[in-house]
Amino acid sequence: MLSTAIMISTTLVCISLMLNLWRLFKGPGRPDRILALDTMYINSIALIILFGISAGTALYFEAALLIAMLGFVSTVAMCKYILRGDLIE
Amino acid sequence: MNPQPRFRFLPMPFHSVLLLIVWLLLNNTVSFGHIVLGSFLALTIPMLTAGMQNPQPRFHRPLIMIRYAIMVLGDIIVANFEVALLVLGPSKKLQPAFIAVPIDIVNELPITILASTVSLTPGTVSAEVSEDKNWLYVHVLHMTDKDELIATIKQRYEQPLTEIFAC
Amino acid sequence: MEFWIEVVVSAFLIFGGVFVFIGSLGLAKLPDFYTRLHAPTKATTLGMGSLLVASSVMITYQQGYLSLHELLITLFLLITAPVTAHMIAKTALHHKLHIIDRTTGKTSAKNARKRESSEEHSA
Protein backbone atom coordinates (compact mmCIF):
# COMPACT_ATOMS: atom_id res chain seq x y z
CA MET A 1 0.00 0.00 0.00
CA LEU A 2 2.83 2.38 0.83
CA SER A 3 4.46 1.99 -2.59
CA THR A 4 1.10 2.68 -4.26
CA ALA A 5 0.67 5.83 -2.18
CA ILE A 6 4.19 6.96 -3.12
CA MET A 7 3.43 6.30 -6.79
CA ILE A 8 0.18 8.31 -6.68
CA SER A 9 1.79 11.17 -4.82
CA THR A 10 4.80 11.28 -7.17
CA THR A 11 2.50 11.31 -10.18
CA LEU A 12 0.52 14.23 -8.74
CA VAL A 13 3.71 16.18 -8.01
CA CYS A 14 5.03 15.53 -11.52
CA ILE A 15 1.78 16.73 -13.09
CA SER A 16 2.02 19.87 -10.94
CA LEU A 17 5.58 20.44 -12.17
CA MET A 18 4.29 20.24 -15.75
CA LEU A 19 1.54 22.76 -14.96
CA ASN A 20 4.13 25.09 -13.43
CA LEU A 21 6.30 24.73 -16.52
CA TRP A 22 3.34 25.64 -18.70
CA ARG A 23 2.74 28.76 -16.64
CA LEU A 24 6.46 29.57 -16.78
CA PHE A 25 6.40 29.52 -20.60
CA LYS A 26 3.05 31.24 -21.01
CA GLY A 27 3.60 34.14 -18.65
CA PRO A 28 2.10 36.65 -19.46
CA GLY A 29 3.90 38.95 -17.03
CA ARG A 30 7.27 38.68 -15.36
CA PRO A 31 5.72 38.28 -11.87
CA ASP A 32 3.79 35.26 -13.20
CA ARG A 33 7.06 33.67 -14.26
CA ILE A 34 8.67 34.33 -10.88
CA LEU A 35 5.67 32.81 -9.14
CA ALA A 36 5.86 29.74 -11.39
CA LEU A 37 9.58 29.33 -10.63
CA ASP A 38 8.97 29.66 -6.89
CA THR A 39 6.27 26.99 -7.02
CA MET A 40 8.61 24.77 -9.04
CA TYR A 41 11.23 25.04 -6.29
CA ILE A 42 8.72 23.92 -3.67
CA ASN A 43 7.44 21.09 -5.84
CA SER A 44 10.95 19.82 -6.47
CA ILE A 45 11.46 19.70 -2.69
CA ALA A 46 8.33 17.56 -2.56
CA LEU A 47 9.78 15.26 -5.24
CA ILE A 48 13.07 14.87 -3.32
CA ILE A 49 11.23 14.12 -0.07
CA LEU A 50 9.12 11.50 -1.85
CA PHE A 51 12.26 9.91 -3.30
CA GLY A 52 13.79 9.89 0.18
CA ILE A 53 10.75 8.08 1.58
CA SER A 54 10.77 5.49 -1.18
CA ALA A 55 14.51 4.91 -0.72
CA GLY A 56 14.04 4.75 3.05
CA THR A 57 16.89 7.10 3.98
CA ALA A 58 17.13 10.52 5.60
CA LEU A 59 20.09 11.43 3.36
CA TYR A 60 18.12 13.65 1.01
CA PHE A 61 17.00 15.96 3.80
CA GLU A 62 20.01 18.26 3.38
CA ALA A 63 19.36 18.61 -0.35
CA ALA A 64 15.73 19.53 0.33
CA LEU A 65 16.73 22.12 2.94
CA LEU A 66 19.32 23.65 0.59
CA ILE A 67 16.79 23.90 -2.25
CA ALA A 68 14.29 25.55 0.12
CA MET A 69 16.83 28.17 1.22
CA LEU A 70 18.22 28.91 -2.25
CA GLY A 71 14.69 29.04 -3.68
CA PHE A 72 13.60 31.65 -1.16
CA VAL A 73 16.70 33.80 -1.61
CA SER A 74 16.58 33.67 -5.40
CA THR A 75 12.85 34.49 -5.52
CA VAL A 76 13.37 37.53 -3.32
CA ALA A 77 16.39 38.57 -5.38
CA MET A 78 14.46 38.33 -8.64
CA CYS A 79 11.54 40.33 -7.19
CA LYS A 80 13.91 42.98 -5.93
CA TYR A 81 15.66 43.11 -9.29
CA ILE A 82 12.57 43.75 -11.38
CA LEU A 83 11.12 46.03 -8.69
CA ARG A 84 14.10 48.37 -8.42
CA GLY A 85 16.33 47.41 -11.35
CA ASP A 86 19.16 46.75 -8.94
CA LEU A 87 20.03 44.25 -6.21
CA ILE A 88 22.27 46.17 -3.86
CA GLU A 89 21.47 49.83 -3.47
CA MET B 1 18.74 52.30 21.19
CA ASN B 2 21.94 53.49 22.87
CA PRO B 3 24.64 54.53 20.39
CA GLN B 4 27.49 52.64 22.04
CA PRO B 5 26.31 49.14 22.88
CA ARG B 6 28.00 47.80 25.94
CA PHE B 7 29.49 44.32 25.76
CA ARG B 8 27.24 41.78 27.38
CA PHE B 9 27.72 38.09 27.91
CA LEU B 10 24.24 37.09 26.74
CA PRO B 11 22.86 39.85 24.51
CA MET B 12 19.94 37.90 23.02
CA PRO B 13 18.83 35.05 25.30
CA PHE B 14 15.82 34.11 23.16
CA HIS B 15 17.93 33.87 20.00
CA SER B 16 20.52 31.78 21.83
CA VAL B 17 17.93 29.19 22.83
CA LEU B 18 16.55 29.22 19.28
CA LEU B 19 20.03 28.69 17.80
CA LEU B 20 20.68 25.73 20.11
CA ILE B 21 17.34 24.13 19.22
CA VAL B 22 17.88 24.63 15.48
CA TRP B 23 21.40 23.17 15.73
CA LEU B 24 20.10 20.08 17.49
CA LEU B 25 17.25 19.72 14.97
CA LEU B 26 19.66 20.12 12.07
CA ASN B 27 21.86 17.30 13.37
CA ASN B 28 18.80 15.30 14.46
CA THR B 29 20.39 14.27 17.76
CA VAL B 30 20.55 15.17 21.45
CA SER B 31 24.00 13.68 22.10
CA PHE B 32 26.28 15.40 24.61
CA GLY B 33 28.88 16.53 22.07
CA HIS B 34 26.34 18.30 19.91
CA ILE B 35 24.80 19.99 22.93
CA VAL B 36 28.25 21.36 23.87
CA LEU B 37 29.02 22.50 20.31
CA GLY B 38 25.52 23.97 19.90
CA SER B 39 25.80 25.85 23.20
CA PHE B 40 29.16 27.26 22.13
CA LEU B 41 27.65 28.49 18.84
CA ALA B 42 24.56 29.79 20.63
CA LEU B 43 26.78 31.85 22.93
CA THR B 44 29.27 33.21 20.38
CA ILE B 45 27.05 34.04 17.40
CA PRO B 46 24.79 36.47 19.37
CA MET B 47 27.90 38.11 20.86
CA LEU B 48 29.32 38.75 17.39
CA THR B 49 26.07 39.90 15.83
CA ALA B 50 24.55 41.90 18.69
CA GLY B 51 25.77 45.17 17.18
CA MET B 52 23.82 44.61 13.97
CA GLN B 53 20.46 44.18 15.65
CA ASN B 54 17.64 46.69 15.35
CA PRO B 55 15.87 47.30 18.64
CA GLN B 56 12.58 45.40 18.59
CA PRO B 57 9.63 45.53 20.97
CA ARG B 58 9.63 42.84 23.62
CA PHE B 59 7.20 39.98 23.95
CA HIS B 60 5.16 40.99 26.96
CA ARG B 61 2.82 38.03 27.09
CA PRO B 62 4.51 34.85 25.83
CA LEU B 63 1.55 32.67 26.82
CA ILE B 64 -0.78 34.57 24.50
CA MET B 65 1.88 34.23 21.81
CA ILE B 66 1.75 30.44 22.08
CA ARG B 67 -2.06 30.47 22.00
CA TYR B 68 -1.94 32.79 18.97
CA ALA B 69 0.47 30.45 17.14
CA ILE B 70 -1.78 27.44 17.77
CA MET B 71 -4.86 29.38 16.64
CA VAL B 72 -3.08 30.49 13.45
CA LEU B 73 -1.99 26.90 12.71
CA GLY B 74 -5.61 25.76 13.02
CA ASP B 75 -6.75 28.62 10.79
CA ILE B 76 -4.14 27.75 8.16
CA ILE B 77 -5.59 24.26 7.78
CA VAL B 78 -9.18 25.56 7.57
CA ALA B 79 -8.14 28.31 5.12
CA ASN B 80 -6.39 25.78 2.93
CA PHE B 81 -9.54 23.74 2.54
CA GLU B 82 -11.49 26.88 1.67
CA VAL B 83 -8.96 27.96 -0.95
CA ALA B 84 -8.77 24.43 -2.37
CA LEU B 85 -12.57 24.36 -2.79
CA LEU B 86 -12.49 27.81 -4.45
CA VAL B 87 -9.71 26.71 -6.83
CA LEU B 88 -11.52 23.52 -7.78
CA GLY B 89 -14.84 25.29 -8.23
CA PRO B 90 -15.76 27.34 -11.32
CA SER B 91 -13.42 30.31 -11.55
CA LYS B 92 -16.10 32.45 -13.28
CA LYS B 93 -17.92 32.76 -9.96
CA LEU B 94 -14.96 34.18 -8.03
CA GLN B 95 -15.31 37.72 -6.73
CA PRO B 96 -11.76 38.98 -6.17
CA ALA B 97 -11.23 42.30 -4.44
CA PHE B 98 -8.64 44.72 -3.14
CA ILE B 99 -9.33 46.08 0.31
CA ALA B 100 -7.49 48.45 2.63
CA VAL B 101 -7.41 47.36 6.26
CA PRO B 102 -6.69 50.09 8.82
CA ILE B 103 -4.07 48.96 11.32
CA ASP B 104 -3.46 50.45 14.74
CA ILE B 105 -0.18 48.78 15.72
CA VAL B 106 2.89 50.83 14.93
CA ASN B 107 6.06 48.78 15.31
CA GLU B 108 7.61 46.92 12.40
CA LEU B 109 7.76 43.46 13.96
CA PRO B 110 4.03 43.27 14.85
CA ILE B 111 3.09 44.62 11.41
CA THR B 112 5.28 41.95 9.78
CA ILE B 113 3.66 39.23 11.87
CA LEU B 114 0.19 40.56 11.05
CA ALA B 115 0.94 40.72 7.31
CA SER B 116 2.34 37.17 7.33
CA THR B 117 -0.68 35.87 9.23
CA VAL B 118 -3.03 37.57 6.81
CA SER B 119 -1.14 36.01 3.89
CA LEU B 120 -1.40 32.52 5.33
CA THR B 121 -5.05 32.63 6.38
CA PRO B 122 -8.49 32.82 4.76
CA GLY B 123 -8.16 33.65 1.10
CA THR B 124 -6.19 36.85 1.59
CA VAL B 125 -2.70 37.97 0.56
CA SER B 126 -1.15 41.14 1.93
CA ALA B 127 0.24 43.20 -0.94
CA GLU B 128 1.52 46.47 0.47
CA VAL B 129 1.77 48.59 3.60
CA SER B 130 1.18 52.30 3.24
CA GLU B 131 4.05 54.66 3.94
CA ASP B 132 2.66 55.99 7.21
CA LYS B 133 1.97 52.39 8.36
CA ASN B 134 -1.75 53.04 8.84
CA TRP B 135 -3.13 50.84 6.07
CA LEU B 136 -2.50 47.29 5.00
CA TYR B 137 -3.53 46.62 1.40
CA VAL B 138 -4.91 43.12 1.01
CA HIS B 139 -6.04 41.11 -2.02
CA VAL B 140 -8.99 38.80 -1.37
CA LEU B 141 -9.67 35.76 -3.53
CA HIS B 142 -13.42 35.59 -2.94
CA MET B 143 -15.09 38.37 -1.00
CA THR B 144 -18.61 38.05 0.34
CA ASP B 145 -18.78 40.83 2.93
CA LYS B 146 -16.14 43.53 3.10
CA ASP B 147 -16.91 44.95 6.56
CA GLU B 148 -17.16 41.51 8.13
CA LEU B 149 -13.77 40.52 6.69
CA ILE B 150 -12.07 43.68 7.99
CA ALA B 151 -13.68 43.15 11.41
CA THR B 152 -12.46 39.53 11.44
CA ILE B 153 -8.89 40.52 10.62
CA LYS B 154 -8.90 43.22 13.27
CA GLN B 155 -10.49 41.16 16.05
CA ARG B 156 -9.03 37.76 15.42
CA TYR B 157 -5.47 38.64 14.45
CA GLU B 158 -4.69 42.22 15.41
CA GLN B 159 -6.22 42.18 18.90
CA PRO B 160 -3.94 39.39 20.28
CA LEU B 161 -0.90 41.07 18.71
CA THR B 162 -1.59 44.34 20.51
CA GLU B 163 -1.86 42.37 23.75
CA ILE B 164 1.36 40.45 23.11
CA PHE B 165 3.45 43.51 22.32
CA ALA B 166 1.53 45.86 24.63
CA CYS B 167 1.42 48.76 22.19
CA MET C 1 5.93 -2.78 8.82
CA GLU C 2 2.95 -2.38 11.07
CA PHE C 3 -0.29 -1.83 9.28
CA TRP C 4 -1.46 1.34 11.01
CA ILE C 5 1.83 3.18 10.42
CA GLU C 6 1.52 2.32 6.76
CA VAL C 7 -2.03 3.68 6.75
CA VAL C 8 -1.01 6.92 8.46
CA VAL C 9 1.99 7.51 6.17
CA SER C 10 -0.04 6.72 3.04
CA ALA C 11 -2.86 9.05 4.11
CA PHE C 12 -0.43 11.92 4.71
CA LEU C 13 1.31 11.23 1.37
CA ILE C 14 -1.92 11.24 -0.66
CA PHE C 15 -3.22 14.31 1.18
CA GLY C 16 0.03 16.19 0.57
CA GLY C 17 0.20 15.19 -3.07
CA VAL C 18 -3.38 16.31 -3.67
CA PHE C 19 -2.74 19.70 -2.06
CA VAL C 20 0.49 20.29 -3.99
CA PHE C 21 -1.45 19.43 -7.15
CA ILE C 22 -4.30 21.81 -6.23
CA GLY C 23 -1.78 24.60 -5.72
CA SER C 24 -0.32 24.12 -9.18
CA LEU C 25 -3.75 23.67 -10.74
CA GLY C 26 -4.76 27.02 -9.31
CA LEU C 27 -1.57 28.54 -10.69
CA ALA C 28 -2.45 27.24 -14.13
CA LYS C 29 -6.16 27.92 -14.32
CA LEU C 30 -7.13 31.03 -12.33
CA PRO C 31 -7.87 34.13 -14.43
CA ASP C 32 -5.45 36.88 -13.35
CA PHE C 33 -2.16 37.23 -11.50
CA TYR C 34 -3.50 38.27 -8.11
CA THR C 35 -5.91 35.35 -7.89
CA ARG C 36 -3.19 33.01 -9.11
CA LEU C 37 -0.98 34.12 -6.22
CA HIS C 38 -3.37 32.60 -3.66
CA ALA C 39 -3.12 28.97 -4.74
CA PRO C 40 0.65 28.32 -4.44
CA THR C 41 1.11 30.30 -1.22
CA LYS C 42 -1.57 28.42 0.69
CA ALA C 43 -2.31 25.02 -0.78
CA THR C 44 1.32 24.17 -1.57
CA THR C 45 2.46 25.09 1.93
CA LEU C 46 -0.05 22.73 3.55
CA GLY C 47 0.76 20.00 1.02
CA MET C 48 4.47 20.25 1.75
CA GLY C 49 3.73 20.21 5.48
CA SER C 50 1.85 16.95 5.31
CA LEU C 51 4.45 15.33 3.00
CA LEU C 52 7.15 16.24 5.52
CA VAL C 53 5.09 14.84 8.41
CA ALA C 54 4.77 11.60 6.45
CA SER C 55 8.54 11.52 5.94
CA SER C 56 9.13 12.22 9.64
CA VAL C 57 6.84 9.38 10.79
CA MET C 58 8.39 7.00 8.26
CA ILE C 59 12.03 7.73 9.18
CA THR C 60 11.20 7.62 12.90
CA TYR C 61 9.70 4.17 12.47
CA GLN C 62 12.47 2.83 10.26
CA GLN C 63 15.53 4.15 12.07
CA GLY C 64 14.13 3.71 15.56
CA TYR C 65 14.87 7.22 16.85
CA LEU C 66 12.72 10.34 16.86
CA SER C 67 13.41 12.15 13.60
CA LEU C 68 12.28 15.76 13.81
CA HIS C 69 14.52 17.56 11.35
CA GLU C 70 11.79 17.58 8.71
CA LEU C 71 10.13 20.10 11.01
CA LEU C 72 12.89 22.54 10.06
CA ILE C 73 11.85 22.55 6.40
CA THR C 74 8.17 22.90 7.36
CA LEU C 75 8.93 25.85 9.63
CA PHE C 76 11.16 27.43 7.00
CA LEU C 77 8.45 27.13 4.35
CA LEU C 78 5.81 28.49 6.75
CA ILE C 79 7.95 31.52 7.51
CA THR C 80 9.09 32.23 3.95
CA ALA C 81 5.84 31.60 2.01
CA PRO C 82 4.11 34.83 3.13
CA VAL C 83 7.31 36.82 2.58
CA THR C 84 7.69 35.66 -1.02
CA ALA C 85 3.94 36.18 -1.61
CA HIS C 86 4.21 39.73 -0.31
CA MET C 87 7.29 40.47 -2.44
CA ILE C 88 5.71 39.08 -5.63
CA ALA C 89 2.42 40.91 -4.99
CA LYS C 90 4.35 44.14 -4.44
CA THR C 91 6.26 43.61 -7.68
CA ALA C 92 3.04 42.96 -9.60
CA LEU C 93 1.36 46.05 -8.14
CA HIS C 94 4.30 48.16 -9.05
CA HIS C 95 4.38 46.82 -12.61
CA LYS C 96 0.65 47.65 -13.00
CA LEU C 97 -0.17 44.09 -13.94
CA HIS C 98 -3.62 43.60 -15.44
CA ILE C 99 -6.32 43.22 -12.77
CA ILE C 100 -9.36 41.26 -13.89
CA ASP C 101 -12.39 43.48 -14.51
CA ARG C 102 -14.78 42.12 -11.91
CA THR C 103 -12.35 42.90 -9.07
CA THR C 104 -13.88 45.35 -6.63
CA GLY C 105 -11.93 48.02 -4.82
CA LYS C 106 -9.53 48.95 -7.59
CA THR C 107 -9.05 52.36 -6.00
CA SER C 108 -7.37 50.61 -3.07
CA ALA C 109 -4.92 49.04 -5.50
CA LYS C 110 -4.27 52.44 -7.04
CA ASN C 111 -3.71 53.93 -3.58
CA ALA C 112 -1.31 51.16 -2.66
CA ARG C 113 0.66 51.83 -5.83
CA LYS C 114 0.75 55.55 -5.12
CA ARG C 115 2.05 55.05 -1.60
CA GLU C 116 4.78 52.93 -3.00
CA SER C 117 5.89 55.50 -5.57
CA SER C 118 5.76 58.33 -3.04
CA GLU C 119 7.98 56.20 -0.84
CA GLU C 120 10.37 55.88 -3.75
CA HIS C 121 10.59 59.65 -4.21
CA SER C 122 11.35 60.32 -0.59
CA ALA C 123 13.95 57.55 -0.45
Domain residues for A65? Answer: 2-84
Domain residues for C31? Answer: 3-122
What percent of chain B lies above the pLDDT cut of 70?
87
Predicted pLDDT at B58: 67
Q: Is A46 on the interface with C (CB under 8 A)?
A: yes
Predicted pLDDT at B59: 67
- DSSP assignment of C4-63, as one string? HHHHHHHHHHHHHHHHHHHHHHHHHHSSSHHHHHHHHHHHHHHHHHHHHHHHHHHHHHHH
Residues B36 and B74 in one domain: no
Residue B2 maps to a domain: no
Residues B46 and B112 in one domain: no
Q: Measured between alpha carbons, how far is B33 from B44 in angstroms, rounded to an integer?
A: 17
Residues B95 and B25 in one domain: no
Predicted pLDDT at A14: 92
Residue A39 maps to a domain: yes
CB contact under 8 A, C91 and A12: no
pLDDT digits (tens, 9 = 90+) for A55-76: 877 788 888 888 888 999 999 8
Residues B101 and B20 in one domain: no
**B6–chain C nearest CA distance, Å:** 31
- Tell me if C69 sits within 8 A of C117, measured CB to CB: no
ipTM: 0.85
Average model confidence (pLDDT) across chain B: 78
Domain residues for B99? Answer: 62-165
Q: Is A79 on the interface with C (CB under 8 A)?
A: yes
Enumerate neighbours of A (3 or more CB pairs within 8 A). Answer: C
CB contacts, 8 Å: C35 with chain A: none
CB contacts, 8 Å: C26 with chain A: none
Taking CA atoms, C72 is separated from A19, A47, B75, B107, C53, in Å, by 27, 17, 21, 28, 11
| Range in B131-145, C8-22, C35-49 with the lowest mean pLDDT | B131-145
pLDDT digits (tens, 9 = 90+) for C61-98: 877 777 778 888 888 888 888 888 888 888 888 777 66
Residues B67 and B104 in one domain: yes
When divided into structural domains, chain A yields a total of 1
**Residue B163 pLDDT more than 80?**
no
- Identify the band that residue C120 occupies on the pLDDT scale cut at 50, 70 and 90: very low
Q: Span B127-142, mean pLDDT?
A: 78
Q: Check which CATH number belongs to the domain holding A6 and give it.
A: 1.10.287
Residue B6 maps to a domain: no
Residue B102 maps to a domain: yes
**Residue A53 pLDDT more than 60?**
yes
CB contact under 8 A, A46 and C20: yes
Q: Which residues of B touch C (CB under 8 A)?
A: 22, 25-28, 76-77, 79-80, 83-84, 87-88, 91, 94-100, 115-117, 119-120, 123, 125-128, 130-131, 135, 137, 139, 141, 143, 146
**Residue C17 pLDDT more than 80?**
yes
